[in-house]
Chains A and B, each alone.
Chain A
Amino acid sequence: MNERTELKIIGKPIPRHDAWEKAFGLTIYAADFSMPGMLYGKVLRSEYPSAKILSIDTSKAERLRGVRAVLTAKDVPRNESVTRFGQTHTMGGGFEGLYRVLADRKVHFMGEAVALVAAEREEIAERALELIEVEYEPLPGVFDPMEAMKPDAPQVQMGRSNIVTHYEVIKGDVERGLLEADVVVENTYRVPFVDHAYMEPESGVAWVDENGVITIRVSTQVIEHFRGVAEVLNLPHNRVRVIGTYVGGGFGGKEDITVESFLALLAHKTGKPVKLTYTREESILSHSKRHPYVMEYKTGAKKDGRVVALKARLVSDAGAYVYLSPWVLLYSMVDATGPYRIPHVKIDGYTVLTNNTFTSANRGFGAPQVCFAYESQMDELARALRMDPCEIRKMNYLKKGEELATGQVLEYHVALEETTDKAREALGDKTPASGKIRIGQGIASGMTSYGRMVFLHDTSRSHVSIEMDGSVTIRAGVQDIGGGQASSLCQIAAETLGVPLEDIKIYIADTALTPLAGTTTATRQLYMSGNATLKAAQEVRRTLLKKAGEILNIDPERLDLADKEVVDTEGTGKSLSLTEVVKACASDGLPLYHVALYRAPFRNLTQYERIEGKVFPDFTYGTHAVEVAVDEETGKIQVLKLIACYDVGRAINRLSVEGQMEGGAIYGMGYGLTEEVILEKGKTMTPSFSEYLLPTSMDVPEVKTILIESGDGTGPFGAKGIGEPSVCSIAPAIANAVYDAIGARVCDLPLTPEKIVGTIKGKKD
């Protein structure tokens, strides 16, 4: 079918429909929704990181006036099942961890849910929590994954080893490679727990509808948790409906179940609508964190700069529950070499249970951790060999058609050389140093996958229909978490059907009414649901043009849809209004809708321990360059310049893409400089934004974004994903710039003033 070469709506910086609603305060976020007779839910949480529950007495709480339900583990029809993340394909091999709704017999981390309350007013529910008497017997805990790996360490979860997963990547002979190397650099890198710190805390409202369906209106990245919630209640899947709201930020933290099961249990028990909203402190204490890693890296290169060997060991802290830890580690394993050609590789990876807050998805999903290590190592090699950091990278970058250490072939454009040159050039000359202020520049490149792992058999669906007046409706189960997920689909349909963007309406995120589109995670929605929507819209277009061809007596291949008209592209001036064609199709009983299914490439794992072959559909590549000012007295780092240059394939909406790249850069800057959830023996010492420090408007440089549009992605119109890749290489670029400024490397994130001052002092001593 004819494809229009000149795009009218794709690629333009178009304001999003949801932005207007948000600007006027009209968007009804999860916590903004209320129902008559609604109750308020609260969660009682563990005060110990590791303890036996000897008894729970709820009688006093139950007797409090206004309390309508108090639930503990014994009240949950199916308290233990397995974690799933929207996927319908079961992996096995330890990928699915334990999902426990409420603690039973034991608590495993501080903040674990122990009991639920629903009451007529919020303060009554709070009072009821105080009246629940839990008798604990504290047990020894383990808080360091290295300790937890030892055979005599306390066992975090009964009946299983603390080591959740061990993976290997092997290529060539690493010991031989290291012997052949002229220089070898060896460092241990450490990265911290990080909170997602979305501005909107977890929230939802659940009720039992007139059909007896438990309906949960919730802020989530994964409406397909409806299946898991149904299993908790021992109900058929079609008796639970999840409606996703516009989400006030997700970043991976709303990928796991948050309030859904609690709400469903309380609504089911009371028969009343129930609202549950976490406080900020509760959010920080109880939801997942980014995995801390210890990464031992040994990298060898020849005199001319060619990297010949990498031996690495990764250990991640899974916290007290498995959740997505094996998956995150798998991403790290594939990415651990970085986008470099290395003949001899051996990577070992472990993810280990501890009595810390559990860890799971966080924007980048294992990619930013290893990027900090491999990009610090590249600079270390450049220094050891007295080479330019850009030159050594360019010598070793993989090119399209080459293979990662796992054997996955890079099938699409690899934009590393050009992003390095452009980022370096945009950085310009170094700002002159003055007094105690030292200036440094650094770069780092990254690769991050988009789309889920091919073993997950990922699919998405989208329904596109055209109304009698030519307006268009999209129904797609996408969750919009602020990245413009919904509006991008509108642009794709508008472009394909030749109607203005204002004529499109989209219904999203309802498991009962919108075709399921999978999760808004893994930088997959534009890729997956964009392709599904394109396919559905193309099918409707084909029907319309075929009918128009019959009416006009012109080959449909010659016809195009533009500005609500069918036009002859060969300039005969023959045309037909869109509504006439729609009416003609309707009279003939032709379908004016199509539901399309887009299927990612599938491949099964042949075995679990050793990672080989294709794991991801594709990657997004790019480079960050930064300039920093370091105060050698106080150790304070100010980022002066930040250049973000990534290949996005095709920018469907330029404003949204820039927004991802600017926001992602600052998200990554926080990771590099200030953000750390500090846990002391399992206790969170940073439970508010006074202690957990996000970048403010005063801390940020002017991010300069350079978009590369290779057109060679596997998304619609050649798009790649950018949501997570935008974060990947900031922290190492900052660390490399700091090295340039102070002449020493800090291997632990975040680069706090204390660490900088200590490093400068250590160097002088």
Chain B
Amino acid sequence: MPKFYPLELNVNGEWKRAVAAPQETLLYVLRERLNHTEVKEGCGKGDCGACAVLLNGKAVNACLALALQAHKQKVVTLKGIGTPEQPHPLQESFVKHGAIQCGFCTAGMIVSAKALLDENPRPTREEIKRAISGNLCRCTGYKKIVEAIEEAARKLR
């Protein structure tokens, strides 16, 4: 039986308590203990970006962060970016541009895009491509994703 330690996380603006073993990842705790299944596991090795979340405002792969390292810190997932009642312009533009097909990369994509737009409200297409270069998508060929991020950037300005 591994030793568990208490963990406090601010997820999408709400403080949550959980336990975590030292080797458990932030991804594992978010999905398995806190029911944040909107965060996806695509590879578990930091290769695909499906599990990206904002940790203190920076996009990180939750599969590479240890849960206990995030103790008392702020995590934002896709659900913290916007909701059906209060959609974020990124969510609206992803839908309207057809940037979502199977949708498995979407949570990570929107998180990476949010991190970009928070820092750089006027990104070029090249900067957008660089910002999502750690997020693999097998369905779209990226074009509509880049266009969706461009439009959301325009709306947010």
Give A contacts to B, CB under 8 Å. 13, 15-16, 18-29, 31-32, 123, 196-201, 246-249, 251, 279-280, 481-484, 655-656, 658-659, 662-667, 688-690, 694-698, 700, 702-703
- Supposing A24-B87, A663-B141, A689-B47 touch, asked if A29 and B94 sit within 8 A by C-beta, the answer is no
Indicate if the CB atoms of B138 and A27 lie closer than 8 Å: no
Among A16, A656, A689, max chain B CB count under 10 A is at: A689
Instruction: Kindly list chain A residues whose C-beta atoms are within 8 Å of the C-beta of B101.
Output: 482-484, 659, 663
Indicate if the CB atoms of A656 and B40 lie closer than 8 Å: no
Alpha-carbon separation in the docked complex, A476 to B50 (Å): 30
Please give the distance in Å from A672's CB to the nearest CB on chain B. Answer: 14
Segment of B3-11, B64-72, B125-133 engaged in the interface with chain A = B125-133
Indicate if the CB atoms of B96 and A702 lie closer than 8 Å: no
Quick one: which of B9-42 are within 8 Å of A by CB?
31, 37-38, 40-42
Indicate if the CB atoms of B141 and A22 lie closer than 8 Å: no
Please give the distance in Å from B85's CB to the nearest CB on chain A. Answer: 10
Indicate if the CB atoms of A694 and B95 lie closer than 8 Å: no
Alpha-carbon separation in the docked complex, A481 to B92 (Å): 21
Choose one: B40, B43, B143, B145; the contact of A29 (CB below 8 Å).
B40
Please give the distance in Å from A757's CB to the nearest CB on chain B. Answer: 25
Indicate if the CB atoms of A698 and B129 lie closer than 8 Å: yes
Indicate if the CB atoms of B141 and A700 lie closer than 8 Å: yes
Among A16, A21, A664, A696, max chain B CB count under 10 A is at: A696
Instruction: Kindly list chain B residues whose C-beta atoms are within 8 Å of the C-beta of A18.
Output: 103
Please give the distance in Å from B19's CB to the nearest CB on chain A. Answer: 13
Indicate if the CB atoms of A199 and B37 lie closer than 8 Å: no
Please give the distance in Å from B109's CB to the nearest CB on chain A. Answer: 10
Instruction: Kindly list chain B residues whose C-beta atoms are within 8 Å of the C-beta of A196.
Output: 138
Select from chain A the residue with minimum beta-carbon distance to B98: A655
Fill in one digit per residue for B71-104: 1 if any A CB lies within 8 Å of its CB, else 0: 0000001110011100100011011111011111
Please give the distance in Å from A703's CB to the nearest CB on chain B. Answer: 6
State whether the Cβ of B115 lies closer than 8 Å to any Cβ in chain A.
no
Please give the distance in Å from A41's CB to the nearest CB on chain B. Answer: 15
Alpha-carbon separation in the docked complex, A665 to B128 (Å): 20
State whether the Cβ of B110 lies closer than 8 Å to any Cβ in chain A.
yes
- Supposing A23-B94, A280-B44 touch, asked if A659 and B139 sit within 8 A by C-beta, the answer is yes
Indicate if the CB atoms of A199 and B138 lie closer than 8 Å: yes
Alpha-carbon separation in the docked complex, A29 to B130 (Å): 28
Indicate if the CB atoms of A15 and B96 lie closer than 8 Å: yes
State whether the Cβ of B55 lies closer than 8 Å to any Cβ in chain A.
no
Alpha-carbon separation in the docked complex, A158 to B155 (Å): 64
Alpha-carbon separation in the docked complex, A481 to B104 (Å): 11
Select from chain A the residue with minimum beta-carbon distance to B107: A25
Indicate if the CB atoms of A482 and B144 lie closer than 8 Å: no
Alpha-carbon separation in the docked complex, A484 to B103 (Å): 11
Indicate if the CB atoms of A24 and B84 lie closer than 8 Å: yes
Please give the distance in Å from B94's CB to the nearest CB on chain A. Answer: 5
- Supposing A280-B44, A663-B140 touch, asked if A656 and B103 sit within 8 A by C-beta, the answer is no
Please give the distance in Å from B137's CB to the nearest CB on chain A. Answer: 7
Please give the distance in Å from B127's CB to the nearest CB on chain A. Answer: 11
Choose one: A24, A695, A698; the contact of B91 (CB below 8 Å).
A24
Instruction: Kindly list chain A residues whose C-beta atoms are within 8 Å of the C-beta of B97.
Output: 655
Indicate if the CB atoms of B141 and A703 lie closer than 8 Å: yes
Interface pairs (9), CB distance under 8 Å: A18-B103, A19-B94, A251-B138, A279-B44, A280-B48, A482-B101, A696-B134, A697-B129, A697-B137
Quick one: which of B111-157 are within 8 Å of A by CB?
128-130, 132-146
Instruction: Kindly list chain B residues whose C-beta atoms are within 8 Å of the C-beta of A251.
Output: 138
Among B78, B79, B104, B133, max chain A CB count under 10 A is at: B104
Indicate if the CB atoms of A24 and B98 lie closer than 8 Å: no
Indicate if the CB atoms of A248 and B102 lie closer than 8 Å: yes
Instruction: Kindly list chain A residues whose C-beta atoms are within 8 Å of the C-beta of B83.
Output: 24
Alpha-carbon separation in the docked complex, A251 to B42 (Å): 16
Please give the distance in Å from A483's CB to the nearest CB on chain B. Answer: 7
Indicate if the CB atoms of B136 and A199 lie closer than 8 Å: yes
Choose one: A31, A656, A665, A698; the contact of B130 (CB below 8 Å).
A698
Alpha-carbon separation in the docked complex, A702 to B150 (Å): 14
Alpha-carbon separation in the docked complex, A249 to B138 (Å): 8
Indicate if the CB atoms of A482 and B139 lie closer than 8 Å: yes
Select from chain B the residue with minimum beta-carbon distance to A689: B47
Alpha-carbon separation in the docked complex, A663 to B105 (Å): 14
Indicate if the CB atoms of A247 and B102 lie closer than 8 Å: yes
Select from chain B the residue with minimum beta-carbon distance to A24: B84
Alpha-carbon separation in the docked complex, A665 to B141 (Å): 7
Alpha-carbon separation in the docked complex, A666 to B129 (Å): 15
Indicate if the CB atoms of A667 and B138 lie closer than 8 Å: yes
- Supposing A25-B78, A698-B130 touch, asked if A659 and B103 sit within 8 A by C-beta, the answer is no
Extra contacts besides A24-B78, A200-B104, A663-B138 (4): CB < 8 Å: A26-B84, A484-B101, A658-B144, A697-B128
Select from chain A the residue with minimum beta-carbon distance to B94: A23
Indicate if the CB atoms of B103 and A688 lie closer than 8 Å: no
Alpha-carbon separation in the docked complex, A484 to B140 (Å): 12
Indicate if the CB atoms of A27 and B103 lie closer than 8 Å: yes
Alpha-carbon separation in the docked complex, A697 to B133 (Å): 5
Please give the distance in Å from A464's CB to the nearest CB on chain B. Answer: 25
Alpha-carbon separation in the docked complex, A248 to B105 (Å): 8
Select from chain A the residue with minimum beta-carbon distance to B126: A698
Please give the distance in Å from A490's CB to the nearest CB on chain B. Answer: 15
Alpha-carbon separation in the docked complex, A46 to B65 (Å): 31
State whether the Cβ of B61 lies closer than 8 Å to any Cβ in chain A.
no
Alpha-carbon separation in the docked complex, A105 to B75 (Å): 50
Instruction: Kindly list chain B residues whose C-beta atoms are within 8 Å of the C-beta of A29.
Output: 37, 40, 104
Among A249, A665, A702, A703, max chain B CB count under 10 A is at: A249
Choose one: B48, B95, B105; the contact of A15 (CB below 8 Å).
B95
Instruction: Kindly list chain B residues whose C-beta atoms are within 8 Å of the C-beta of A703.
Output: 141, 143
Indicate if the CB atoms of A25 and B38 lie closer than 8 Å: yes
Choose one: B104, B110, B145; the contact of A697 (CB below 8 Å).
B145
Instruction: Kindly list chain A residues whose C-beta atoms are within 8 Å of the C-beta of B110.
Output: 23
Indicate if the CB atoms of B100 and A23 lie closer than 8 Å: yes
Instruction: Kindly list chain B residues whose C-beta atoms are within 8 Å of the C-beta of A696.
Output: 133-134, 136
- Supposing A19-B94, A199-B40, A251-B138 touch, asked if A482 and B48 sit within 8 A by C-beta, the answer is no
Alpha-carbon separation in the docked complex, A70 to B101 (Å): 38
Indicate if the CB atoms of A199 and B98 lie closer than 8 Å: no
Indicate if the CB atoms of B142 and A700 lie closer than 8 Å: yes
Among B2, B79, B128, B138, max chain A CB count under 10 A is at: B138
Alpha-carbon separation in the docked complex, A744 to B136 (Å): 32
Select from chain A the residue with minimum beta-carbon distance to B140: A663
By Cβ-Cβ distance, the 7 closest A-B pairs, closest first, are A25-B38, A482-B102, A22-B103, A248-B104, A655-B98, A666-B141, A689-B47
Select from chain B the residue with minimum beta-carbon distance to A66: B1
Alpha-carbon separation in the docked complex, A656 to B99 (Å): 10
Select from chain A the residue with minimum beta-carbon distance to B24: A123
Instruction: Kindly list chain B residues whose C-beta atoms are within 8 Å of the C-beta of A664.
Output: 141
- Supposing A15-B95, A31-B41, A698-B129 touch, asked if A22 and B100 sit within 8 A by C-beta, the answer is yes
Please give the distance in Å from A43's CB to the nearest CB on chain B. Answer: 16
Instruction: Kindly list chain A residues whose C-beta atoms are within 8 Å of the C-beta of B129.
Output: 697-698
Select from chain A the residue with minimum beta-carbon distance to B104: A248
Among A25, A201, A694, max chain B CB count under 10 A is at: A25
Please give the distance in Å from A685's CB to the nearest CB on chain B. Answer: 16
Indicate if the CB atoms of B142 and A697 lie closer than 8 Å: yes
Choose one: B95, B103, B144; the contact of A248 (CB below 8 Å).
B103
Indicate if the CB atoms of B100 and A697 lie closer than 8 Å: no
Indicate if the CB atoms of B98 and A690 lie closer than 8 Å: no
Select from chain B the residue with minimum beta-carbon distance to A21: B103
Alpha-carbon separation in the docked complex, A19 to B40 (Å): 16
Indicate if the CB atoms of A19 and B77 lie closer than 8 Å: no
Alpha-carbon separation in the docked complex, A664 to B143 (Å): 12
Alpha-carbon separation in the docked complex, A24 to B82 (Å): 7
Alpha-carbon separation in the docked complex, A417 to B144 (Å): 28
Indicate if the CB atoms of A198 and B104 lie closer than 8 Å: yes
